[in-house]
Amino acid sequence: MVNAEPDSKSRLRLWLRLLKTSRGIEATLRERLRVEFSSTLPRFDVMAALMRHEEGLRMSELSGVLKVSNGNVTGIIERLVEDDMVERVAVKGDRRATKVRLTKGGKIHFAKLAEAHEAWIDELLNAFAAEDADYLSAQLQTVEDQTYD
Amino acid sequence: MVNAEPDSKSRLRLWLRLLKTSRGIEATLRERLRVEFSSTLPRFDVMAALMRHEEGLRMSELSGVLKVSNGNVTGIIERLVEDDMVERVAVKGDRRATKVRLTKGGKIHFAKLAEAHEAWIDELLNAFAAEDADYLSAQLQTVEDQTYD
DNA sequence: GAAATTTATTTCAAGTATAAAATATTTAAG
DNA sequence: CTTAAATATTTTATACTTGAAATAAATTTC
């Protein structure tokens, strides 16, 4: 028995499924961050990146890590600074650059967000046993090298 | 041999991988829609939904299908109407409602977008044979029921 | 070492996105 | 019928996002 359907159809279905799944999870995370912490996913992403870099990151490094535009990061950082979650630090030797890092309060706040976040993901993806999750991650990893920016 | 790492870590890694993969593909699609068609992903999504409903959709049906807010759809439709891709049609019997549907030009334009879109996905996901893609889709499907809005 | 180029960041214009408030209309209740 | 409640949509305020232009500072070139 031959299958008349081209592979492209299966790939298209996979893409639509991938999109639906990730958008669904994202929507749930957004909602919970908003309701339970008056926060947002972009703020969470920025703080997570800064958490992994105690010493701080330049604005351009941050936008590189998060793969978003410079101007975008400027705006999010502005609001995080207003809320005393993040502080700007001058870079000695280069007056064009600024480093940003979490404040003490920012670290404390993020720890709470991160704990809740991990629990939410654990709940939303509980259909996957650890082995299945690892296998799926590996499968998805293979796409990575395909995507060029 | 026991594994000290809790399942939640595997699930978190899966989520981060899922997010990275879909954002990567989305970024590529956005870029190509912009460069090759001066269009955007939200416009594509709206037009795709309208293509599947020849007779048109109410604004609220459209936001339901796309899972985005009413106000959001209002804005996207406004711009599509300006470009003569979409037209508003009065709903007889209910003066509150409006149906929107693709114009003839909108259908012609969307056909080009859709063809390019499918080819891009086929290229970006070529690492997956049809069977692998179908299997992955099925795996991801299991998450669906977990996500509540 | 002054001029040209590159680099780091912000500003800007336009589009996307949400939740909440406002409008307009229809339906239900009394 | 007339008020109250529900429904469909738009408007508003705020945040996020991008690419491109502007600004400022550092580096390279002649």
Distance from CA of A36 to the nearest CA of B (A): 15
Mean pLDDT (chain A) is: 92
Strand D contact nucleotides, protein CB < 7 Å: 7-13, 15-21, 24-27
Is B137 part of a structural domain of the chain? no
Cβ contacts below 8 Å, chain A against chain B, sum to 174
d(C-alpha A98, C-alpha B88), whole Å = 49
Q: What pLDDT score does B145 carry? A: 56
Q: Determine if residue A7 is left, alpha or beta; phi over 0 gives left, psi from -120 to 50 gives alpha, anything else beta.
A: alpha
Is A94 part of a structural domain of the chain? yes
Is B35 part of a structural domain of the chain? no
Q: Which residue has the higher pLDDT, A3 or B133?
A: B133
Q: What pLDDT score does B149 carry? A: 42
- pLDDT of B67-105, one tens digit each? 999 999 999 999 999 999 999 999 999 999 999 999 999
Query: Cβ of A11: how many Cβ atoms within 10 Å?
Result: 26
CATH value at residue B53: 1.10.10.10
Distance from CA of A15 to the nearest CA of B (A): 7
Is B134 part of a structural domain of the chain? no
Q: What pLDDT score does B7 carry? A: 78
Residue B75 CB closer than 7 angstroms to strand C? yes
Closest residue of B to A45, CA-based?
B16
Q: What pLDDT score does B148 carry? A: 45
Q: What is the mean pLDDT of residues B115-143?
A: 92
d(C-alpha B87, C-alpha B102), whole Å = 6
Residue pointed to by tokens 């996901």: B125
Q: What pLDDT score does A134 carry? A: 93
Residue pointed to by tokens 């957004």: A30
Q: What pLDDT score does A145 carry? A: 56
Is A112 part of a structural domain of the chain? yes
Do residues B32 and A149 lie in contact, with contact meaning Cβ atoms separated by under 8 Å? no
Q: Which two tokens stand for residue A136?
A: 């799926």
Per-residue pLDDT band for B1 (boundaries 50, 70, 90) equals low
Is A30 part of a structural domain of the chain? no
Per-residue pLDDT band for A7 (boundaries 50, 70, 90) equals confident
- pLDDT of A63-118, one tens digit each? 999 999 999 999 999 999 999 999 999 999 999 999 999 999 999 999 999 999 99
Side-chain-facing half-sphere of B11: CA atoms under 13 Å: 18
d(C-alpha A13, C-alpha A16), whole Å = 5
Residue pointed to by tokens 């590189």: A64
Is B63 part of a structural domain of the chain? yes
Checking if the pLDDT of B106 tops 50, the result is yes
Residue pointed to by tokens 């997570």: A48
Q: What pLDDT score does A91 carry? A: 96
What's the structural domain count of chain A? 1
The sign of the torsion formed by the CA atoms of A127, A129, A131, A137 equals: positive
Mean pLDDT (chain B) is: 92
Q: What pLDDT score does A149 carry? A: 42
Checking if the pLDDT of B57 tops 90, the result is yes
The percent of residues above 70 in pLDDT, for chain A, comes to 94
What one-character DSSP code corresponds to residue B98?
Answer: E
Domain residues for the domain of A102 are 37-123
Q: What pLDDT score does A25 carry? A: 94
Is A138 part of a structural domain of the chain? no
